[in-house]
Structure 1
C-alpha cells in the first residue's frame, strides 16, 4: 500500500521514502478547495510537496481573492507615523494582485501545477448556490481522484473556512450526479476526500468519544519546503517567525500523535474497504518506548532559520 498517503482507518502514517517518483500513467490528480490563498499551504502544503515530488498532478481551487483576510501589511502601515503612500492607499485590486503573487510563488515552491481563483469576497458567511455550482463545474472539468478541504468543524470563530467546506461537499455531491444526457458531462468519480484542520490529536480511537484525525502524512522531509512557501505570504504576516511557530506547534503536535517529527493530519470522509486488516509500515516499524525521542530530533529553527 505504497504512495504518499496510506489509507487506513487506523491512524495511518506515511514513512519517509514512500513517496518515490513514478511515471505519469500512474499519477493521481489532487484538487484542494479552500477559502483563502494561504489556506492550501498552511493546511496541506507538506502533503502536496510530497505528492508533487512523486509526479502527481495538483490543482488548487481558491474561492476568494483574499484581499481582506489577514491584510496585516496594509493595516500596519497606517499605524506608522509616516506611512508609505503606495501601501497605505493601495486599492483592492492592488492588494489582491499582491496576494496572488505570493500564492503563485508559494505554489511554485510546493509544486502545485495549477491555481484557480474564483475571486469571491472573502467575508462570506453563508452557503451560496451559485458558488456551489461553480465549484461543481471545476470539479467536473478537473476530474480529481482526491479532494482536500477544511474540516467542517474548523474551530475558527469567524469561519468562512467551514462555509467553504460546506460548499465544496455540496459541489462534490452535485458533480457526482452529473449525467451526460441532462448536463452534457459525465459524473465525477472522486475516490476520497481528506478534511484538514481538525485540532484533535488524541492517540487512540476511544479518547474524546472517538473524535480525531485518522490519517497522518509525515512531512519531515519536506518541512523546509513548506516553510519556504509560507515565507512568501509576507503581506499577512505568515512568514518568518510565525511560519516556524505554526509548523512547530500545529505540525509538531500532529507529528507527536503520528510518531514523527512533523505531520499533517486528516479525517477521511469516506469509509474504505480492505481484504485484510490494515496495518501501516510506520506502525510496524515504530518502537513505542523510544519514539518520543525519535520524533523530537529536528531543531526546526536551527535547520531552517528565519530568512
Structure 2
C-alpha cells in the first residue's frame, strides 16, 4: 500500500533534529509551487533548506495576462506591447514573492528558452554543476510520464535525471568536485491516485504528503502568479481538484502526491503514523471537512 508521508517521514534517513537540503528542478517558474509548494512550506517550517532550480525563463508559457490584453478593443499599451524581457522580469518578481511565502531559501534560474523539445547536453551539465555545488539530500522533479512524449516537463526531468547520473560520477581528484549525496528523488505530477497497488498494473503515486495545514500558504503563493492566470479562482480550483483528489486517496483533506525513484530499506515493515491513526469507518468524512473556498476566499 502507498504511504502517507509527513515531513518527518520524508526525512526518515536523517536524524530528525538535523536539517537537510531539498532541491527542486522544474521547467517553468510556477511549477515548483503548483507541484510541491505545500510540501516545501512544511520543510521550510521545519528548518530545512530549500533551493529551487528553474530551467527556463517561462516568458512564452502561459502568457495569459498579455494575450488577454491584446484581445481588447482598447488595450493597455504598457501591457500589450511588453517585450520578452519585461514579461520574464515580471514572472521572476511573481516567483520571488511566491518563494518568500513558501519559505524557499534560494532560486536559481538558468533562463533557457521554454520551447526546447529534446535533451540538451549543455543544460545537463549546468544542472549537474548546480547539484554538485548545492549538495542536496532530496531532489524533487516532475514525473517524466511517457518518455516518448516530449513536453517541456518530461524533457526537464530527463535532463535532471541525466544530471544526477553525471554528478554521481564526479570525483574530487579528477574534477575538483565532491560527489553528490542525493538519497532520494521524489517525482510529482503522475496523474494516478489509485488506492491499491494492483490497479493499472501498479502504476501509481506511492507517497503522499498531507498539506492540509499549509494549504492556505500554497494558495497565497499561487495567488502571486497573476500574469498566467494562476491566481484567485484557478488556484482554488486546482487545489480542490488536484490536491483534493490526492487527499482523498491519502485519506486527508489535501495532499501532494509523489513517486519515489529509489527503493527504500527499513529495519522493519514500514507503517506510517497516519496509517495507524486512520479510522476506516469515518475516513471519508474526515478528509472532506475543510471548506477551501470558504476558509480561503478569493480577494
Whether these two folds match at TM > 0.5 is: yes
| Offset at residue 14 of structure 1 (A) | 3.4
- SS at 2:258 equivalent: strand
> Is contact 2:7–2:209 with CA below 8 Å preserved after alignment?
no
> Is contact 1:154–1:161 with CA below 8 Å preserved after alignment?
no
CA–CA distance in structure 2, aligned partners of residues 226 and 303 of structure 1: 13
Structure 1 residue 78 corresponds to structure 2 residue 70: yes
CA–CA distance in structure 2, aligned partners of residues 69 and 133 of structure 1: 24
Q: 2:282 aligns with which of 269, 281, 290?
A: 290
| Offset at residue 108 of structure 1 (A) | 0.1
- For structure 1, which runs of at least 5 residues remain unmatched after alignment? 1-9
> Is contact 1:33–1:60 with CA below 8 Å preserved after alignment?
yes
CA–CA distance in structure 2, aligned partners of residues 115 and 263 of structure 1: 24
Structure 1 residue 136 corresponds to structure 2 residue 154: no
> Is contact 1:24–1:56 with CA below 8 Å preserved after alignment?
no
CA–CA distance in structure 2, aligned partners of residues 27 and 290 of structure 1: 35
TM-score (norm 2): 0.95
RMSD: 2.1
CA–CA distance in structure 1, aligned partners of residues 108 and 265 of structure 2: 33
CA–CA distance in structure 2, aligned partners of residues 179 and 145 of structure 1: 18
Structure 1 residue 216 corresponds to structure 2 residue 208: yes
Residue equivalent to 1:13: 4
Structure-2 change in CA distance of 1:233 and 1:298 (3 Å): same
> Is contact 2:118–2:150 with CA below 8 Å preserved after alignment?
no
- SS at 1:148 equivalent: strand
CA–CA distance in structure 2, aligned partners of residues 250 and 244 of structure 1: 10
> Is contact 1:154–1:197 with CA below 8 Å preserved after alignment?
no
CA–CA distance in structure 1, aligned partners of residues 249 and 103 of structure 2: 27
| Offset at residue 158 of structure 1 (A) | 6.6
Structure 1 residue 181 corresponds to structure 2 residue 173: yes
Structure 1 residue 121 corresponds to structure 2 residue 113: yes
Alignment of structure 1 residues 101-112 onto 2, 5 Å = 101-112=93-104
CA–CA distance in structure 2, aligned partners of residues 138 and 18 of structure 1: 26
| Offset at residue 15 of structure 1 (A) | 5.3
Give the number of equivalent residue pairs.
297
Q: Runs of 4+ in structure 1 displaced over 2 angstroms?
A: 14-19
Residue equivalent to 1:257: 249
> Is contact 1:145–1:191 with CA below 8 Å preserved after alignment?
yes
CA–CA distance in structure 2, aligned partners of residues 299 and 14 of structure 1: 23
CA–CA distance in structure 2, aligned partners of residues 99 and 232 of structure 1: 9
Residue equivalent to 1:270: 262
Structure-2 change in CA distance of 1:252 and 1:97 (3 Å): same
Residue equivalent to 1:172: 164
Structure 1 residue 49 corresponds to structure 2 residue 41: yes
TM-score (norm 1): 0.93
- SS at 2:288 equivalent: coil
> Is contact 1:154–1:198 with CA below 8 Å preserved after alignment?
no
- SS at 1:32 equivalent: strand
> Is contact 1:41–1:230 with CA below 8 Å preserved after alignment?
yes
Residue equivalent to 1:100: 92
| Offset at residue 181 of structure 1 (A) | 1.8
Structure 1 residue 237 corresponds to structure 2 residue 229: yes
| Offset at residue 159 of structure 1 (A) | 1.4
Residue equivalent to 1:3: none
